[in-house]
Structure 1
Amino acid sequence: MARPRTPIGTFGQISFASETTTTVTAHTRFRDYDGRLRPVQATGSTRKQAEHNLKAVLARRSRIASGSTDLSGDSTFKRLVEIWLEDLDLQELAFSTRELYARDMRTLVLPAFKDYSLREISIMMVDRFLKKLAKESLSKAQHAKVVLNLALGLAVRYEAIERNPVRSVQRLRKPKKAVNALTIEELEAVRAAVRAWSGAKRPGPKPDGQVEAVIEVMIGTSGRIGEALAIRRRDIDDTGERMTVHLDGTIITPMNGPQFRQDHPKTSESSRKVTVPGFTADVIRKRLTEVPAGPEQLIFFSRNGTPLSANNVRRTLRAALKEAGLDRVTPHAFRRTVATTLEKKASAELAAEMLGHTSTVITKKHYIARADAVNEMTAEILESLAPRAVQDPAA
């Protein structure tokens, strides 16, 4: 006799795992509207809170699975956003991406459209909104356009409106901007500025030198700031001729709740093992003498033993560089410097591989600074086009 299938919208037994000393993750499997079982998880500071948060996620997914959205053209945009956020939970998005979408919707889009019905939101209304926002910040306008397009696209799929007005607005044109990589002199100036800032007397706890170490690790690994902060003892292999570091995680800072280590970088494809230069290996070896034992131990952490905050590192770096007049330098400038150096000495393909990109398109467009001088070998090649000597007929 065949076993009855689990009804859509139900979930299995809840299990728990401790991500850090302050974070617990509750896991289960949920049968979606398409009949497939999918893993679902939620975090909390205690088992009880993690279970509560997981059940809240499951309740939202159950409403979607049963089709109880009651969405129409007369529904408010605010109601659409509630359903859209629930729909995001059904998708296999990185936690950081889901948080970013929710934040952009809450801060950029919802205040402007929350009281309108869906049928009232026109192409002209969206176009004016995005252009006005672009005058304040092109980046904000681009982020707003992404989430507005996703939400109204969902309204089209649920047949609440006939077309998505975002698809017809004028394109937001980004002015061309040169990729800025640091020169050796600028890199030394950054290092000197951070050392000077850390050594200066100022109110509050004395800097512990971690920001200086993070910079050297970012340069030597090409890692994003969250990837560098997510390195654990187990990710470091110092048994060979050169040290290797496995970049396979990142630090996530949720809107609500404690920071935690995500078990893959920005994308799962960008997980990679890199061989680091000697100066980075020296910094990592020094950190290993200063951190507690244990394979899961992060090499960068706060005074409370929690993951070091990327925002705090950025804030410290910004303060140090402002005093030195180097305001334009951001943590991402180190990745551009790595990419540009590798492309110049080797190839764009090697630069893309180091940065964790699946192709050279993004690397070339956003990370490699264009050289002003063309390779001098062109002169040697073009010698073949020199005019031939003309023989004097009178000779």
Structure 2
Amino acid sequence: MKANKNGKRVKHLTHAKFRDHDGKVRPVTATGTTKTAARTALLTKLQNRAKTNYSGDLSTNHKVNNLLDLWERRFEGLVADGTRSPTSLEAYRRALQNHVRPAIGELHIGEATTPRLDTVLFTIKDHAGAATARTCRAVISGAMKLAVRYGALTINPVREVDAIEIKPKNPPRALTTEEVTLLNRSLTADEHAVQADLPDLVTFMLGTGVRIGEALAVHWDQIDHAVGTVEITHTIARIPGKGLIRKTTKSRTGERTLSLATWAATSLRARHTGDTHPDTPVFPDTTGGYRDPSNTRRSLRTALSPVASTARRELGQTLRALRRQKHLSRRQAAQTLGWPQTRLELIETGRLKPTHHLVSSLAKTYGIDLDNTSDLLAQLEDAAQPAESDKLAWIRCHAFRKTTATALDQAGQTARQIADQLGQAKVSITQDTYLHRQRANPAAAQALEHAFDDPDLR
């Protein structure tokens, strides 16, 4: 107990003995301005001491960064064992570096409470988007589960945090028969698409429902031309520091043998030559190696936004000239507008249907008022006229899987059969993401009619 110059007590000291995780008994002390405060402080210290894990690796007083380091090392081990994907590890590392560590890394584990984590995740969602916030939530939850297993926490504080819902801006939809025909005709006639080897790749994806990485990982020895099947066992991914790798699919369900439709099998036979090596990719890059899925997606986006008219090409050339007059590169102009660089490229090459808003934003960046520039307005009016190719601009690689699933659904395949075709472990994902639920069900009406066959209801 301490006293001031006047002899008045200002501190109370309490003490106790505590048997630590190593079996040794050590003194624990605490102070307070009153006896009650001192006892409360001592009790808190003892409770926190008791939460120390038995191995001594983690306690509530360790920083969250120590916990995240341990979690990351364990996840690296799972990747090495082949039970987790290296692409997942890279995604989690980006979330750790850019969001999780800056937000909570310097906190003590005991300070990572549910209200605090809820606020952190809400802030990440507000600034970086729902998808990033969901990834961060998965990382933090995994780390806190580890803290519970090590005894640093008694419950996972993320458990009661609100789930992060993501509503897609453009929900995936299937191509109609007319759109598939238009797509095939457009890709075959597009010189860029042919050079990028897209027509056969798109045909293969529509005929199997595989992911683009899975399609690019298929070797010739995995195709049985006699039976008409293809084995899906690997996928292509780019890992920072390692480049492109051919890795096993994300789950055992992803390893599957698929029967090929006649038109898909015919397309593959036409690609096969006598000197084709069995262990080379069916859809290689220009050097015969593996293709980058991201680059292939970019080529597909360009091919699905063909130059619809001379007017669009001329408008694009005019806008490019205006940008160059301002001595701006495409990257600089795109950064000023907050656009992806590919959008500006599509506009300048006449591959994107222009709108008044798009062109006005560009012109303003170049110091021009669109509404007071009659020549540019006239070009915009001509370029904005609809074209048949505009019907393809919405298509992305995921739409091919949706199209395959829809075709199988309409043919009467069960959700389990469709999930097996797509390589998905959970049938619920197939049902929620790929299958329509609005179809009329005549059998239901007949069943209800027989169940309640009461004349008074007629």
1:354-376 deviation line (CA, Å, top 9, x unaligned): 2223453221111112345x145
SS class of match (2:77): coil
Shift of 1:380: 7.1
Question: Is 1:268 aligned to 2:252, yes or no?
Answer: yes
SS class of match (1:128): helix
Task: State the partner residue of 1:132.
Answer: 123
Q: How does 1:220-369 map to 2 (within 5 A)?
A: 220-240=207-227, 243-262=228-247, 264-289=248-273, 293-322=276-305, 323=351, 324-325=389-390, 326-348=392-414, 349-358=416-425, 360-369=427-436
Kindly provide the amino acid, as one letter, of the partner of residue 347 in structure 1: Q
Shift of 1:111: 3.0
TM superposition outliers: structure 1 runs of 4+ over 6 Å: 377-388
Kindly provide the amino acid, as one letter, of the partner of residue 212 in structure 1: P
Task: State the partner residue of 1:144.
Answer: 136
1:185-230 deviation line (CA, Å, top 9, x unaligned): 222343344445x425xxxxx9524222221111111111111111
CA distance in 2, matches of 1:82, 1:89: 11
Higher helix share: 2
Q: Which has the larger radius of gyration?
A: 2
Could you list the runs of 5+ residues in structure 2 that have no partner in the other structure? 1-53, 306-350, 352-388
Shift of 1:179: 5.2
1:244/1:381 CA distance change after superposition, 3 Å: same
CA distance in 1, matches of 2:107, 2:285: 45
1:73/1:315 CA distance change after superposition, 3 Å: same
1:51-97 deviation line (CA, Å, top 9, x unaligned): xxxxxxxxxxxxxxxx9984433333333222211111333323333
Length-normalised TM-score, structure 1: 0.69
CA distance in 1, matches of 2:249, 2:238: 14
Kindly provide the amino acid, as one letter, of the partner of residue 177 in structure 2: I
CA distance in 2, matches of 1:379, 1:164: 47
Shift of 1:387: 9.1
Asked if the contact 2:117/2:161 (under 8 Å) is kept, the reply is: yes
Asked if the contact 1:178/1:369 (under 8 Å) is kept, the reply is: no
Among candidates 80, 104, 108, match of residue 67 of structure 2: 80
1:167/1:360 CA distance change after superposition, 3 Å: closer
SS class of match (1:89): helix
Task: State the partner residue of 2:358.
Answer: none
Kindly provide the amino acid, as one letter, of the partner of residue 363 in structure 1: T
CA distance in 1, matches of 2:139, 2:172: 27
Kindly provide the amino acid, as one letter, of the partner of residue 257 in structure 2: K
Task: State the partner residue of 1:35.
Answer: none
CA distance in 2, matches of 1:375, 1:214: 35
Kindly provide the amino acid, as one letter, of the partner of residue 436 in structure 2: A
Asked if the contact 2:188/2:194 (under 8 Å) is kept, the reply is: no
SS class of match (2:118): helix
Kindly provide the amino acid, as one letter, of the partner of residue 107 in structure 2: Y
1:123-182 deviation line (CA, Å, top 9, x unaligned): 222112222333342222211111111112222322334433211212223449865222
CA distance in 2, matches of 1:85, 1:258: 21
Asked if the contact 1:180/1:369 (under 8 Å) is kept, the reply is: no
SS class of match (1:159): coil
Asked if the contact 2:208/2:260 (under 8 Å) is kept, the reply is: yes
**Residue-pair matches, total:** 312
Shift of 1:117: 3.0
Asked if the contact 2:280/2:289 (under 8 Å) is kept, the reply is: no
1:225-248 deviation line (CA, Å, top 9, x unaligned): 1111111011000123xx111111
Question: Is 1:163 aligned to 2:155, yes or no?
Answer: yes
CA distance in 2, matches of 1:193, 1:115: 55
1:382/1:113 CA distance change after superposition, 3 Å: closer
Percent of residue pairs identical = 28
SS class of match (2:159): helix
CA distance in 1, matches of 2:99, 2:270: 44
CA distance in 1, matches of 2:131, 2:103: 17
Asked if the contact 1:69/1:83 (under 8 Å) is kept, the reply is: no
CA distance in 2, matches of 1:302, 1:97: 25
Length-normalised TM-score, structure 2: 0.61
1:275/1:158 CA distance change after superposition, 3 Å: same
Task: State the partner residue of 1:117.
Answer: 108
CA distance in 2, matches of 1:102, 1:245: 34
Could you list the runs of 5+ residues in structure 1 that have no partner in the other structure? 1-66, 201-205, 389-395
Task: State the partner residue of 1:191.
Answer: 184
SS class of match (2:239): coil
1:194/1:68 CA distance change after superposition, 3 Å: farther
CA distance in 1, matches of 2:261, 2:409: 17
